[in-house]
Structure 1
Amino acid sequence: MIPEKRSISIMKELSIEHTKQMLMIDGADIKNPILLFLHGGPGTSQIGYARHYQKELEEHFTVVHWDQRGSGLSYSKRIPHHSMTISQLVNDAIQITEWLLSRFSKTKIYLAGHSWGSLIALHVLQQRPDLFYAYYGISQVVNPRHEESASYQYIRNISGRKRASLRSPLIRFIGAPPWKKDIQHLIYRLCVELSRGGLTHHHQQSLAILFQMLTGQEYGIRNIPKFLNGLRFSKKHLTEELYRFNAFASVPSINVPCYFMSGRYDLIVPSEISKQYYQALEAPEKHWFQFENSAHTPHIEEPSLFASTLSSHALHHL
């Protein structure tokens, strides 16, 4: 039995370059290694529901979630628009890592990046590999334009075989990417969800996430407007830079062990693109894991398997 005083469950606000940024830190034993989680988006923070899915993970790690600059509880109207760049978010992540190392008297931590967060993570690892034991890339973003094209083609093919499906007229209406109008992107994401390849493979899990955000103490109804404002703000200022990203060209190598995790049904970041990057990447050690019952969020959809996968491979701190 771990003494109660060695467990931790706190919300911590840090001041980083004139902005207030929120961390949520949970773990069964502060002597465990630290796992910093970079959420997706841009702007899709996880603090509002993450605790419901990480109890097993907390037995092995002190898990740190961060609402990125301009997202969720870190959103503010006073954030300078010019600071909303990938470069600044990378700098923020490095400063948070250094604070964690100091606060918990560690020499290195583990890093996980989900979707958009995996893009930020690659740049962090490229700049400061010395801070990390290993990296977990979940639904790894590689080239958003290629990922959308692959997903669009898949949805069009399956819709063509099911003429009665609502997806068929919708996907034909918007045409092939790239899309310039917001309505085209909205219809595409609707088609992804209808194809059960979106946030979760089973729609009831997405509803559960919404319920947890609305009723949980971390966000609750009172903070949903802040979450939505942060989502709009982040997408407005970061989406253009997101679509210019190409990991093959910008991050061909990483000097830490890498573990990539993909949901079988993911149509937001199809595994075929992520796996091509995994195969081409130069790293001292690398592994690929496919989650057979997940779409875009295997850490949420299959939390027990996610926790056991990480704990069985996170041996670099020993």
Structure 2
Amino acid sequence: MRKDFTPEYVPVQGIEHFLLHGPEHRGAPVLLFLHGGPGYPEHFFALQLERAWQGMFTQVHWDQRGAGMTLARNGRDAHPRSIDQMVDDLHGIVEHLKRSYEVPKVVLLGHSWGSALGSLYALRRPENVAAYIGSGQVVSLRENERVGFEEVKRQAQAADDRKSLALLEQVGDYPPADADEFLRALPKVRKVQDAYEQGPGIGTLLVKTLADRVFTLRDLGSLVRASSANAALLRELVDFDLRAHGCRYACPVHYLLGMNDSTTPTDLAGAYFDELRAQRKALTIIPRAGHSPMFEQPEAYATALKAVRAEL
């Protein structure tokens, strides 16, 4: 671990949560990165983001309940029970950061599942949010999956990709109504979607982090346990629909979306964005990027972030 990145464990709701603090930049807003999954920490990429963002933000990464170092530290006590519990955890982390950095608000950057978590917090606690940034923005998990499945099937048909088409045929009607059937089918669909994403896959990106000594082989254990640790949360998330929680945000909202995202299709996120009301809002589409534009096209993403930073 580099000396300018500082690990910390913070007690919130009965367990110790892992935070990784990046270098503190004088006068820069504090940005809390909310990882995806649930259960897939992204603090491994902190150094890559620091290089790309060049001091625009003081970034903090949090391994959520059921993920990464927080899961490793607490074991079964860190298995999440509900989305509301996760939102309450986030509130505890935000309050800790406000005290630690002596700031009235923080920027939230939600990626994938983290975008659902961040959106809910921004809707409920806007007084603590300097701006909400969504990437790989979740709106309705079932609708995300249906649209994404149809799109990747179309791409496989156009490419005459018989192997992928056979795998999708095994899945049948998607997404299934039953939550457990859905969770069993999901890895097969993701395997095909990953093959059609533009830019490097997350696996390739993780390998590159080994040189930064942020991601280690020890972390693999928590990644392997992620699905079982988050089983209850995943079952609730299957029927999550952000639209049911409203679209009026009393804080700035920015969506930075990959043009080729087949996991959380950009058209669906864009339709919700058109309906939402906020103090300020802006939508940026990142070309040649999929579900993880901040890693797939770091320079273009950093350019989009500069516009967000300029408004703070």
1:268-287 maps to which residues of 2 (within 5 A)? 268-287=263-282
* TM-score between the two structures when normalised by the length of structure 1: 0.89
Shift of the alpha carbon at 1:148?
0.8
Give, as a single letter, the amino acid of the residue that structure 1 aligns with 2:192. Answer: C
Distance 1:171 1:232 in 2: 24
In the alignment, what sits opposite 1:4?
A: none
Asked if structure 2 preserves the Cα contact closer than 8 Å seen for 1:171 and 1:187, the reply is yes
Give, as a single letter, the amino acid of the residue that structure 2 aligns with 1:269. Answer: T
Shift of the alpha carbon at 1:232?
3.2
2:302 matched to 1:310? no
In the alignment, what sits opposite 1:3?
A: none
Shift of the alpha carbon at 1:34?
0.4
Asked if structure 1 preserves the Cα contact closer than 8 Å seen for 2:28 and 2:57, the reply is yes
1:165-176 maps to which residues of 2 (within 5 A)? 165-176=162-173
1:105/1:182 Cα in 2 relative to 1: closer, same or farther (>3 Å)? closer
Distance 1:80 1:63 in 2: 24
Distance 1:164 1:38 in 2: 35
Give, as a single letter, the amino acid of the residue that structure 1 aligns with 2:69. Answer: L
1:182/1:85 Cα in 2 relative to 1: closer, same or farther (>3 Å)? closer
In the alignment, what sits opposite 2:152?
A: 155
Q: Alpha carbon RMSD of aligned pairs, Å?
A: 2.0
Distance 1:134 1:217 in 2: 31
Q: Give ranges in structure 1 of 5+ residues lacking alignment.
A: 1-6
Q: Give ranges in structure 2 of 5+ residues lacking alignment.
A: none
Shift of the alpha carbon at 1:13?
0.9
Secondary structure at 1:274 match in 2: helix
* TM-score between the two structures when normalised by the length of structure 2: 0.90
**Share of identical aligned residues, percent?**
25
2:227 matched to 1:226? no
Secondary structure at 1:262 match in 2: strand
Distance 2:142 2:252 in 1: 27
Asked if structure 2 preserves the Cα contact closer than 8 Å seen for 1:73 and 1:227, the reply is no
Secondary structure at 1:259 match in 2: strand
Shift of the alpha carbon at 1:308?
2.4
Give, as a single letter, the amino acid of the residue that structure 2 aligns with 1:79. Answer: D
2:285 matched to 1:296? no
Secondary structure at 1:44 match in 2: coil
Asked if structure 2 preserves the Cα contact closer than 8 Å seen for 1:48 and 1:212, the reply is no
Q: Which runs of 4+ in 1 moved over 6 A?
A: none
Shift of the alpha carbon at 1:181?
5.6
Asked if structure 2 preserves the Cα contact closer than 8 Å seen for 1:257 and 1:286, the reply is yes
1:246-261 maps to which residues of 2 (within 5 A)? 246-261=241-256
